Amino acid sequence: MLQGQPDKSRARRAAEIICDGFVADGAARFETDILLPAEVLLDLYGEDIRARAYVTSDPERGEMMLRPDFTVPVVQYHMAGDGLPASYTYFGEVFRKQEDHPDRRSEYMQVGYEAFGGADAAVADADVFGRFSDVLAPLGLRAATGDIGILIAMVAGLRTTEDRRTALMRHIWRPGRFTALVKRFAGLTPVPAARASLLALDAPLPDSSVMIGLRSEREISTRIDALRADAAQAPMSAEDVDLISAVLAVSETCPNALEHLRDIAVDLPGLLPALDRFEARCEAMAKRGVDVDALPFEASYGRTSMEYYDGFVFGFYSESRPDLPPVATGGRYDALTRRLGQGREIPAVGGVIRPDLVRDLGGLA
């Protein structure tokens, strides 16, 4: 079933009202181009973004992309400035291919709010979540929250080799691959035959006469050395595998989740600093009037998003319309400012609301 053409002027009006509200609270209006250079976005998000964003080409500027979101341009804008704390709000069209959901809109409006440089991360997280929660309150949405920072701390705290932790860290956002790696490192899946026979050879390097391509013999031998070193290591312990499963399975209200994770941290003390941040955020949220005791927390939430969130993550969903994508999403993305900041980094947290869905659900009035 097609949703029909978006009623753009109504969505735009809803966007303006939300945006004006953020401006009244002190945010600066931000605007940017619709046609963005593709290179930065491709480098950041990889091939996945090609499946989701419209790439086109300009004879002079090369590959260009129809704006898939505002986050990258707003981060670039802020990082190019004086670096003082600031908050921004914006609204405008974004474009996403919907190959898996052709019934969903591929061109729609987003209203955003992004806060840079908040010295107290817990307060900044609570403030952004609180703002979104206040704006969306008339719709009676279900909130979901998570914290990628806890997953990063979990991986960093595993008692295994640095290479294994690095490999797991790389795949936090790809749950299937992450689980496969955990099983491999724990010796729960058999070593592939080709790998076993490679490692059994004394001198597995290829005959230099058939070397082709950019990947050099040196790179190949470096990887073989790494595979050998890994094969010589003890498998990751069953306890660590259980701890990973236990963390990923946490899904309850914030206070209960915190208590549960603190129990797990007895055996995985590396979690503690991240849990202290979680606790501070809960307190800051309560102070800001959020009903934290009833707020859900899912440790795995946000893992499949394409975005660069590396801390607090949240989303708002319509329970009466489970067919709709989330009405709002957001989170903390300190790492993104590091990637785009050419040596500098600034703590950043923000989110976006879809005014078209707000309209579909009856509006905020």
Residues 10, 142, 174, 338: which binds another protein (CB under 8 A)? Answer: 174
Applying CB under 8 A, does 119 fall inside the site for another protein? Answer: no
> Which residue reads 């300190």 in tokens?
334
- Give, for 337, the enclosing helix (H) or strand (E): helix 334-340
Amino acid sitting at position 26? G
Do the beta carbons of residue 350 and residue 118 sit within 8 Å? no
Residues 59, 102, 322, 343: which binds another protein (CB under 8 A)? Answer: 102
Applying CB under 8 A, does 235 fall inside the site for another protein? Answer: no
Candidates 12-20, 26-34, 165-173, 294-302; binding stretch for another protein (CB under 8 A): 165-173
Total interface residues for another protein by CB under 8 A: 38
Applying CB under 8 A, does 104 fall inside the site for another protein? Answer: no
Contacts of 2 (CB under 8 A, 6+ apart): 103
Candidates 166-174, 241-249, 278-286, 347-355; binding stretch for another protein (CB under 8 A): 166-174
Nearest to 189 by CA among 146, 235, 228, 158: 235
Output the DSSP codes for 192-214: PHHHHHHHH-SS-PPPGGG--SS
Applying CB under 8 A, does 338 fall inside the site for another protein? Answer: no
Residue 151 structure tokens: 């997953």
Residues 1, 24, 194, 365: which binds another protein (CB under 8 A)? Answer: 194
Candidates 39-47, 110-118, 128-136, 305-313; binding stretch for another protein (CB under 8 A): 39-47
Nearer to another protein, 61 or 215 (CB): 215
Total residue length of the chain: 365
How many CB atoms are closer than 10 A to CB 4?
7
Nearest distance from C-beta of residue 151 to another protein, angstroms: 16
Applying CB under 8 A, does 306 fall inside the site for another protein? Answer: no
Applying CB under 8 A, does 59 fall inside the site for another protein? Answer: no
SS3 106: coil
Nearest distance from C-beta of residue 220 to another protein, angstroms: 6
Phi, psi dihedrals of residue 310, rounded to the nearest 5°: -135, 15
Nearest distance from C-beta of residue 231 to another protein, angstroms: 12
Residues 142, 165, 177, 288: which binds another protein (CB under 8 A)? Answer: 177
Among positions 195-234, residues that touch another protein (CB under 8 A) are 195, 198, 204-207, 210-215, 217, 219-220, 222-224, 227
Applying CB under 8 A, does 51 fall inside the site for another protein? Answer: yes
Nearest distance from C-beta of residue 302 to another protein, angstroms: 17
Contacts of the segment 60-65: beta carbons below 8 A, 24+ positions apart? 61/37, 62/37, 62/38, 63/37, 63/38, 63/39, 64/35, 64/36, 64/37, 64/38, 65/35, 65/36, 65/37, 65/38, 65/41
- List % helix, strand, coil for the chain (3-state, nearest 5): 50, 15, 35
Interaction site with another protein (CB under 8 A)? 42-43, 46-48, 50-51, 99, 102, 167, 170-171, 174, 176-177, 180, 184, 192, 194-195, 198, 204-207, 210-215, 217, 219-220, 222-224, 227
